[in-house]
Chain A
């Protein structure tokens, strides 16, 4: 091989080695940053638990009676701390999915009616004095394979989304069994949104990449996060808007264990 050939080969090898080293260092830095942010989320959850439990203990009379005119504020504290817990949970899921690539969701038989009831109890007070109501029509449906915390979080985010983007009428929550799945739907009347924006709003990075002319902003980490988590539980999530603005958020979860979800049962 000529001197020029050797020189070029050496140059190529050097560039490849430098690229590999840069990639390794970048990946390590990203992983470390992901761990740090996840740890911060974990730390936030402890005071959140304390604030939420304090509000609940006051509301249930464990810490004595509170004046009637202060109950509303305690309920608001509960509602907001619950919402914050959901956002922290979504943020941690995002970090583990994107930066650490180790997000696996444990699922167990979970009740959709119980989750809906818990969400309405937790966040319903924040709409108590609004000009609309939350109409719940959830009959008997089979249990779904889901992580109960994430199920609560998803229904809570769906409700907050509806509250933010509704333009008139009540918000409706329904659930029905459909061929091995349970579909939970939160519907409301909002703006008529173009089809391409609806599709884009389900993108994981939509809250960060939304164009100024697009009407939807995001609640929490956005609808893309809800779809990701639904799919990690073996289900799916969709968003539909009819031409006149009737909007439906659809969460479908399986009644049987489906990949990529993992069983939350204690290992034998």
Chain B
């Protein structure tokens, strides 16, 4: 059975590329354009993993992370933070909010799937 993934990314060009790439590798992909939509989609679809951008409209990635991790129904979802923020404080904050790992922009396919494999195996 294919792995279910939610992509929460407000930048259309990045989201579309991610969707096409992951679908080509056999993942079942759902996408959300903001934080509120991401929480709703995760509650509905219960994906194995959420690719979560930090800076998004309506609700930021850290809040999405906190909400999902505090809800027993969604707390098992692995969260891979995708961000261009790569400073120590942001990484620590991501972990504190329950992220499994982080991926910094710019990234390519190899880097993405390596992190995904690590997160799914954790």
Distance in Å: Cβ of A17 to nearest Cβ of chain B: 33
Chain A residues whose CB sits within 8 angstroms of the CB of B101 once the complex forms? 266
B21 within 8 A of A: yes
A45 touches B106 (CB 8 A): yes
B11 touches A106 (CB 8 A): no
Chain A residues whose CB sits within 8 angstroms of the CB of B71 once the complex forms? none
A149 touches B108 (CB 8 A): no
Identify the stretch in B33-41, B42-50, B86-94 within 8 Å (CB) of chain A at 4 or more residues: B86-94
Chain B residues whose CB sits within 8 angstroms of the CB of A47 once the complex forms? 11, 13
Known: A50-B14, A54-B17, A62-B21. A149 touches B104 (CB 8 A): yes
Using a CB-CB cutoff of 8 Å, which residues 3-36 of chain B contact chain A? 11, 13-14, 17-18, 20-21, 24
Known: A60-B109, A122-B108. A49 touches B87 (CB 8 A): no
Q: Mark B63-102, 1 if CB is under 8 A from A, else 0.
A: 0000000000000000000001111110110011000110
B87 touches A46 (CB 8 A): no
Q: Is the interface of A mostly helix, strand, loop or mixed?
A: helix
**Which residue on B lies nearest to A267, using beta carbons?**
B95
B108 touches A50 (CB 8 A): no
A48 within 8 A of B: yes
Q: Is the interface of B mostly helix, strand, loop or mixed?
A: helix
**Which residue on B lies nearest to A118, using beta carbons?**
B110
CA distance A122 to B18 in the complex (A): 19
Known: A42-B84, A45-B106. A53 touches B92 (CB 8 A): no
B11 touches A50 (CB 8 A): yes
B58 within 8 A of A: no
CA distance A164 to B3 in the complex (A): 45
Q: Mark A88-122, 1 if CB is under 8 A from B, else 0.
A: 10001000100000101010000000000010001
A62 touches B95 (CB 8 A): no
CA distance A53 to B111 in the complex (A): 12
Known: A60-B109, A63-B20, A267-B95. A46 touches B88 (CB 8 A): no
30 residue pairs bridging A and B, Cβ less than 8 Å apart: A45-B104, A45-B105, A46-B105, A47-B13, A49-B14, A49-B84, A50-B11, A52-B106, A53-B21, A54-B13, A54-B17, A56-B21, A57-B17, A57-B21, A60-B24, A62-B20, A62-B21, A82-B106, A82-B108, A92-B86, A104-B87, A104-B88, A106-B88, A118-B108, A118-B110, A122-B108, A149-B86, A262-B88, A266-B101, A267-B95
**Interface residues, chain B, with chain A CB atoms under 8 Å away:** 11, 13-14, 17-18, 20-21, 24, 84-89, 91-92, 95-96, 100-101, 104-111
**Interface residues, chain A, with chain B CB atoms under 8 Å away:** 41-43, 45-50, 52-54, 56-57, 60, 62-63, 81-82, 85, 88, 92, 96, 102, 104, 106, 118, 122, 148-149, 262, 264, 266-267
